[in-house]
Amino acid sequence: MSVSVRIPTILRTYTGGESEVSAEGDTLAAVLDDLDASYAGIRARILDDAGALRRFVNVYVGNDDVRFLEDLATPTPDGVQISVIPAVAGG
């Protein structure tokens, strides 16, 4: 299943400056694996050493935060847009 992945500015060094790229996979985990095959190192910026989503990175499949769905096992239907959004903090 082909999906589009919106890449935040901070990770565009991995995608050659592209803000949106295509990837394949029927779950978020599979999409991140495919993304890393094309853009080596990007998965390590999204997942921690234990393979879980980093605390400061939000990932949406469509309009839904995957932490409220099935996390990395969230299905990624063909054509869906995945957004990777770094958390913003400050005061």
Q: In this structure, are residues 30 and 70 in contact, taking their beta carbons and an 8 Å threshold?
A: no
Supply the pLDDT for residue 71. Answer: 97
Give 39-85 pLDDT, tens digit per residue: 999 999 999 999 999 999 999 999 999 999 999 999 999 999 999 99
| pLDDT at position 29 over 80 | yes
Please write the tens of the pLDDT for every residue from 8-27. Answer: 999 999 999 999 999 999 99
Residue-level pLDDT at 91: 64
Domain spans, the chain: 2-86
Please name the CATH architecture into which domain 2-86 falls. Roll (3.10)
Looking at the DSSP assignment, which residues form a beta bridge with residue 3?
Answer: 23
